[in-house]
């Protein structure tokens, strides 16, 4: 699913789901993934705030397309109004707390479902990828939450504060065991940003290093409060929880 799509095969005319009109409901749109030729149509037009673009079964998404139903974001599953980006990322840095299991998460005693905002790094990342980087989610610009190949132009002076970054392992070596640091890179137009993950906990460092080592060819998503390292175009954040990172294996 996607919160935006394109009107033409060249992907030059963009349309946001929130701006779709009833007369657009029968029109075929193009997946934001240039490698996917899914036939997408506007869904849930009755409630415009919850509208999205979905593919039909006969012309579905390619395998592992990030805008497919299996890996995508459904706005009807979450409470947008309750989403607070900085608070969500702060929660990712905290150690997990034990929970009682008197009732299933997300339900009242009556059994009715209670919508919650995106909370995990995968949920927040999927939400950001489903939207255009210039769009907003509960009033916050998507590109100001996620730095990726679409939004990097929004960061001409660097990456500061609470952000999620989409990057890859720095080559030829992405970790420093003595300093307990992991280095990632994201390319910009004409230059490259380096992101350093700083660990105090050696066990956590080794765990995440080993996970990344086994998935070096994939994208890595990291959440943190980024600051300058003192080196040009190099930024760093402390990592205190495995919840701050995710490996993205789809396109």
pLDDT at 105: 42
C-alpha distance across the termini of the chain, in Å: 14
Contact indicator for 140, 85 with CB cutoff of 8 Å:
yes
Residue 190 makes CB contacts below 8 A (sequence gap 6+) with none
pLDDT at 76: 87
Contact indicator for 52, 1 with CB cutoff of 8 Å:
yes
Lookup result for tokens 């701050």:
244
The pTM score is: 0.86
pLDDT at 101: 42
Q: In the chain, what are the domains?
A: 4-64 (no CATH), 144-248 (2.40.50.140)
CA distance 240 to 207: 12
pLDDT at 58: 87
* pLDDT tens-place values along the chain, 251 residues long: 789 999 999 999 999 988 887 667 789 999 999 999 999 999 875 654 578 898 988 888 888 788 876 667 888 899 999 999 999 999 999 986 543 344 334 444 445 578 999 999 999 999 999 999 999 999 999 999 999 999 999 999 999 999 999 999 999 999 999 999 999 999 766 678 999 999 999 999 999 999 999 999 999 999 999 999 999 999 999 999 999 999 998 65
Q: Which residues pair with 149 in a beta bridge?
A: none
Q: How far is CA 163 from the centre of its chain?
A: 10
pLDDT at 20: 82
């Amino acid at each position: 699913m996607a919160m935006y799509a394109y009107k033409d095969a060249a992907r030059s005319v963009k349309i946001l789901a929130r701006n779709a009109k009833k007369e657009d409901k029968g029109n075929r749109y193009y997946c934001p993934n240039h490698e996917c030729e899914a036939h997408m149509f506007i869904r849930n037009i009755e409630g415009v705030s919850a509208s999205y673009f979905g593919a039909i079964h006969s012309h579905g998404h390619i395998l592992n397309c990030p805008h497919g139903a299996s890996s995508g974001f459904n706005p009807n599953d979450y409470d947008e109004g309750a989403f607070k980006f900085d608070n969500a990322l702060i929660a990712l840095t905290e150690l997990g707390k034990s929970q009682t299991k008197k009732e299933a998460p997300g339900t009242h005693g009556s059994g009715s479902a209670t919508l919650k905002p995106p909370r995990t790094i995968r949920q927040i990342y999927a939400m950001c990828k489903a939207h255009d980087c210039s769009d907003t989610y509960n009033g916050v610009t998507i590109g100001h939450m996620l730095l990726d190949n679409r939004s990097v132009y929004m960061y001409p002076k660097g990456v500061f504060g609470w952000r999620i970054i989409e990057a890859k392992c720095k080559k030829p070596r992405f970790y420093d065991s003595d300093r307990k640091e992991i280095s990632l890179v994201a390319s910009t137009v004409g230059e490259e940003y380096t992101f350093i993950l700083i660990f105090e906990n050696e066990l956590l460092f080794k765990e995440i290093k080993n996970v990344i080592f086994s998935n070096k060819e994939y994208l890595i998503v990291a959440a943190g409060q980024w600051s300058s390292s003192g080196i040009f175009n190099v930024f760093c954040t402390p990592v205190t929880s495995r919840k701050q990172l995710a490996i993205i294996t789809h396109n």
